[in-house]
Chain A
């Protein structure tokens, strides 16, 4: 009796009935899959409907204003470009360096294990916590009321660098790991030492993967508002930052600023800002996908 039950479980012996159930479940799965797609569709539709009429040259080339008809996102756009440039400057060498260490040099010991666990844990830390970190050690001198770097570009870039570092490390590690060992052995056979092997054989063939990972990490950084808002506070910037020690604003914060106002016109401005942001993100992702496809086929030869 018990054994029978084990074999058949509570499966209905009527196969036709089970087929019908299967069909219903299939429809359920299909509908679930559509939920995400429909959500994305509605979101894009809503943003386009509200924002398209507001996108014009003046919107792209004006500074923020109290009058929605004269408001633009020039300062936010340049703030974003500045911030991305500086973030990439800090995070790429450190991220790639860490990845090279972990893949090529690191001995199998406790320290390596700790670093690895630590990197994957850092990827799960909420971004606002990085904002607190940046505020506590970059904006202000640690534990005092004095300004250290102040609420400037460089403080924001350092904070974002720490935020995307785990992503760059993980992506770089993966592309370094994908370099066939025969490349390394070939280089060693030519008499190269370890660093020459890495410099001459590993990095060139891992380059495209690292680049792709970096672009994806940057596109994450571009959309981040929470940590940056803790660094900049809510500011009203009507100039293009000229150097890294000036105060700034970025696209997501400008969008947030507009969404937070009750007037409908500002909400539409926010939608227009979102379109600009999404276009930048899509472009970056398209470049990443293009690079991935272009080089993936080549390395399989």
Chain B
């Protein structure tokens, strides 16, 4: 409907009729109307370009400040070093302890959220009656809307003491409870995206399977899940990238000790927690510390960007079209 209709109405009826009917095409106003139209067009386009500028701004600021960092610290040393002591002497800038901290929390979160989220999605899409679904979905939406400081509070003051009853070695700040709570936090992401994928699997595939004598769970696991697999995997990846980028929960509950460890009972520091904890202080700009948080930010940005792109790519590449 672009183009043709757009230009046509100016010529069709005689002028008097139109002014009479709507006043829109008053010849004196006509020029102004045209001008206004093209002004707003450019205005709206520049609004859309703001989003491009945001991305460009993020890239430039991360690369610029990161450059200040990598001028003094070898990139290889940064990526493979196993000691992260940017404040304590002797200073050392190996980022792996932060990466391992991030990974351990993410893995724990994933081991909760992926299975639970997937099964929730199957339940909602294949088993639940409409009435039940209408109750459960808003509850999960609330879960997704709760601010992450609240989850941090919950992990620190509820889950950690609870786990300490069972696990004697558990420190106050630890990767385990941060990871578990983060798992609960990202359940709604996995479940809603996976459910969307499952609901769009056409009905006749299910009915064909039922006609062959399959039970409901066989239909769910052998027909619906495989057919929706690309959407499900994409939901996993997007949820994981969210977990990697999550900040306040781990800043509150996981601690501030950059340590190369795979022990979830210990205190760790994630990349995001390092950025938050360091930027909270008012360090001088241009100081090396200031550049350090941008270097870690750059790494974080690249990791999440790659995962998001992978997620989108999987959805588009492997989408089953029916």
Q: Which residue of A lies closest to B287 (CB)?
A: A145
Q: Which residue of B lies closest to A226 (CB)?
A: B247
Given the contacts A43-B150, A115-B51, A281 and B145 also touching, CB distance less than 8 Å: yes
Count residues of A near B (Cβ-Cβ below 8 Å).
101
Q: How large is the interface on B (under 10, 10 to 19, 20 to 34, 35 or more residues)?
A: 35 or more
Q: Of A19, A101, A277, which one neighbours B47 at CB under 8 angstroms?
A: A101
Cβ of A253 to closest chain B Cβ, rounded Å: 8
Assembled-state Cα–Cα distance A50/B293 (Å):
35
Q: Is B177 an interface residue (CB 8 A)?
A: no
Q: Which residues of A contact B62 (CB under 8 A)?
A: 129, 132
B24 and A255 contacting across the interface, CB-CB below 8 Å: no
Q: Which of A132, A252, A255 has the most CB of B within 10 A?
A: A132
Given the contacts A195-B37, A219-B145, A18 and B215 also touching, CB distance less than 8 Å: yes
Q: Is A287 an interface residue (CB 8 A)?
A: no
A194 and B37 contacting across the interface, CB-CB below 8 Å: yes
Cβ of B301 to closest chain A Cβ, rounded Å: 5
Cβ of A156 to closest chain B Cβ, rounded Å: 13
B279 and A223 contacting across the interface, CB-CB below 8 Å: no
Q: Which residue of B lies closest to A21 (CB)?
A: B217
Q: Is A11 an interface residue (CB 8 A)?
A: yes
Q: Of B1, B9, B120, B272, which one neighbours A33 at CB under 8 angstroms?
A: B120
Q: Which residue of B lies closest to A135 (CB)?
A: B279
Q: Is A37 an interface residue (CB 8 A)?
A: yes
Q: Which residue of A lies closest to B150 (CB)?
A: A274
Cβ of B283 to closest chain A Cβ, rounded Å: 9
Task: Provide the main secondary structure of the chain A interface.
Answer: helix
Q: Which residues of A contact B294 (CB under 8 A)?
A: 132, 136
**Beta-carbon contacts under 8 Å, B236-272 to A:** 238, 241-242, 244-248, 251-252, 272
Q: Is B288 an interface residue (CB 8 A)?
A: no
Contact with A along B299-312 (1 / 0, CB 8 A): 01100110011001
Q: Is B139 an interface residue (CB 8 A)?
A: yes
Q: Is B129 an interface residue (CB 8 A)?
A: no
Q: Which residue of B lies closest to A41 (CB)?
A: B139
- The stretch from B52-60, B74-82, B92-100, B197-205 touching chain A is B52-60
Assembled-state Cα–Cα distance A95/B54 (Å):
13
Cβ of B42 to closest chain A Cβ, rounded Å: 10
A133 and B44 contacting across the interface, CB-CB below 8 Å: no
Q: Is B179 an interface residue (CB 8 A)?
A: no
B127 and A29 contacting across the interface, CB-CB below 8 Å: yes
Given the contacts A47-B153, A195-B37, A256-B248, A224 and B147 also touching, CB distance less than 8 Å: yes
Q: Is B158 an interface residue (CB 8 A)?
A: yes
Q: Of B21, B149, B280, which one neighbours A259 at CB under 8 angstroms?
A: B149
Q: Of A129, A195, A234, which one neighbours B245 at CB under 8 angstroms?
A: A129
Q: Which residues of B contact A171 (CB under 8 A)?
A: none
Q: Which residues of A contact B246 (CB under 8 A)?
A: 126
**Beta-carbon contacts under 8 Å, A77-105 to B:** 93-98, 100-102, 105
A126 and B245 contacting across the interface, CB-CB below 8 Å: yes
Q: Which residues of B contact A106 (CB under 8 A)?
A: 48
A-to-B contact residues, CB < 8 Å: 9, 11, 15, 18-19, 21-22, 25-26, 28-30, 32-33, 35-37, 39-40, 42-43, 46-47, 50, 93-98, 100-102, 105-106, 114-115, 117-122, 124-133, 135-137, 140, 142-145, 162, 165-166, 169, 181, 184-185, 188-196, 219-220, 222-226, 229-230, 233-234, 252, 255-256, 259-260, 267, 270-271, 274, 277-278, 281, 285
Q: Add 15 more A-B contacts to A165-B50, A194-B37 (CB < 8 A).
A: A22-B215, A26-B217, A32-B119, A39-B143, A98-B44, A115-B48, A128-B275, A132-B62, A132-B275, A133-B57, A136-B294, A195-B40, A226-B272, A230-B276, A256-B149
